[in-house]
Amino acid sequence: MSSLQPVRGTHDLMFDDIRRHRHVQRKFAAIAELYGYSEIATPIFEATEVFARSLGDTTDIVTKEMYTFATKGGESVTLRPEGTAGVARAFVSAGLAQQTPLKFFYMGPMFRHERPQKGRQRQFHQIGVELLGVAGPQGDVEVIALADHILRELNLAGRITLELNSLGDADSRAAYRTVLVDFLAARRDKLSADSRERLEKNPLRVLDSKDPADREIVADAPRLPEYLNPASRDFFKQVQDGLGKLGVAFTLNPALVRGLDYYTHTAFEFTTDALGAQGTVLAGGRYDGLVQQMGGPPTPGVGWAAGVERLAMLLGELPPPRRPIAVIPVGAAEEVAALKLAQRLRGNGFMVDVGYGGNMGKRMKRANKINAVVALILGEDEVRRGVVTARHLDSGEQAAVALAELEAHLDLYR
């Protein structure tokens, strides 16, 4: 066995793992399209400024977790740590402001240099949606309802809770910032070094701290919802009312603060207690300032992202994979006829496996190993008569079937 192993924090996806990933992604894409969202695929790496500008230079992602490197031409590029900034960059660089509202969904790998743990890798996969150009609370309601729909389709609704909060508009946040700074400044000596730095640059970041001492202090901090102005309160009430009318259950969490600079108004997380301490499986919110921050025109936005690995871990038993049909030539003389027959059946939508070598016994063992539903045996006699021997591998029953009638016979086993 080779001594080469996957780099720490990465893993190979195969067999049941990849089936679970594909199940999540296919369900997601199908439901997103029902809501009128179209797929977008942005590059895996972007100019570092795309993320530094959008995520904020005091976030853990930017200061500690990004994979950043210089190209041979001296440009600084970064492997994408999340999807929203790339979508916003694409919106700006393609000049799409006149085409709003725009609905995008995406899926693919992301990269963060953090400590690998259950459901969290350095190369991980996300699904996400972005709604650009809708300023009203109906946009928030739609993207949250879409998330709820996907989780229900994955049979996860009973294991996941939607937590909801409002970050308010710019005026509300400014009022809250003043109160929060006063509270934290009085306890500055007890804060972690990271939080003392955040206190100077972006005090709301302290609310996101994972440091135990910081979290103890923050537990007694003033809550942002208490400082919402009437417009922000009304916006948040309309979001709650809309979700209620759609039957989307939620709980209010006044301590919930999204960890990125571009969020405003609604913040939400779908959480579970089935994955240990890392309980968030889907999170998002409104980011009305992001596109302008990226150099584009003022454009409201709201969206979310979910970790595919975490969702895949929560799935129950999946439907069994489709069972193939095995085409087995008895000898070397029948191999060409077997290949032609396999290609014909594949062209008609059947999943077909042809044994690559060995005697008939070995090929039958392979047919059983891959859980084939039917083995089509081609010997000299079958080729001469224009038939195949179709052996049903569950019952052991077999019959000679004319080649002209084979597809109709195999339709019984699709």
What's the pLDDT score for residue 61? 65
- Is residue 60 predicted with pLDDT exceeding 70? no
Positive or negative, the CA dihedral 44, 48, 52, 54 is negative
The enclosing H or E element of 132 equals strand 123-132
What DSSP line would sit under 379-412, residue for residue?
A: -HHHHHHTEEEEEETTT--EEEEEGGGHHHHHGG
Architecture of domain 325-413: 3-Layer(aba) Sandwich (3.40)
The whole-number pLDDT of residue 261 equals 59
Q: In whole angstroms, what is the distance from residue 304 CA to residue 148 CA?
A: 12
Q: At what angle do helices 137-153 and 16-34 cross, to 10 degrees?
A: 140
- Poorest-pLDDT segment among 52-56, 182-186, 309-313, 339-343: 52-56
- Residues 167-182 have a mean pLDDT of 91
pLDDT of residue 151: 97
* pLDDT band with cut points at 50, 70 and 90 for residue 278: low
DSSP annotation of 372 reads -
* Six token digits for residue 189: 């000596």
Question: Average pLDDT of 142-167?
Answer: 96
Per-residue pLDDT, 56: 61
pLDDT of residue 276 exceeding 80, the answer is no
pLDDT at residue 36, as a whole number: 98
Other Cβ atoms less than 10 A from the Cβ of 13: the count is 15
pLDDT at position 62 over 70: no
Q: How far, in Å, CA of 343 to CA of 28, rounded?
A: 32
Task: Write the DSSP assignment of 303-360 as a string of letters.
Answer: EEEEEHHHHHHH--PPPPPPPPEEEEESSGGGHHHHHHHHHHHHHTT--EEE--SS-H
For residue 101, is the peptide bond before it cis, meaning its omega torsion is within 30 degrees of 0? yes
Mean pLDDT, all residues of the chain:
92
Which residues in the chain are classed under CATH 3.30.930.10? 16-169+229-314
Stretch(es) of the chain classified as CATH 3.40.50.800: 325-413
Separation between Cα atoms, residue 358 and residue 377, nearest integer Å: 14
* Range 16-169+229-314 classified under CATH 3.40.640.10: no
pLDDT mean over 235-244 = 98
Statement: residue 259 has pLDDT above 60: no
Which amino acid is located at 203 in the chain? P
Summarize the confidence of residues 302-316 as an average pLDDT: 95
What residues form DSSP beta bridges with 306? 127, 282
Residue type, 380: E
Residue 206 DSSP one-character state = G
pTM here is: 0.91
Percent residues over pLDDT 70 in the chain: 95
Residue spans of alpha helices (H) in 96-247:
137-153, 170-185, 193-201, 212-218, 230-245
Please give the residue that has the higher pLDDT: either 349 or 115. 349
pLDDT in tens, 2-59: 789 999 999 999 999 999 999 999 999 999 999 999 999 999 999 999 988 777 655 5
What would the mean pLDDT of 255-270 be, rounded to a whole number?
82
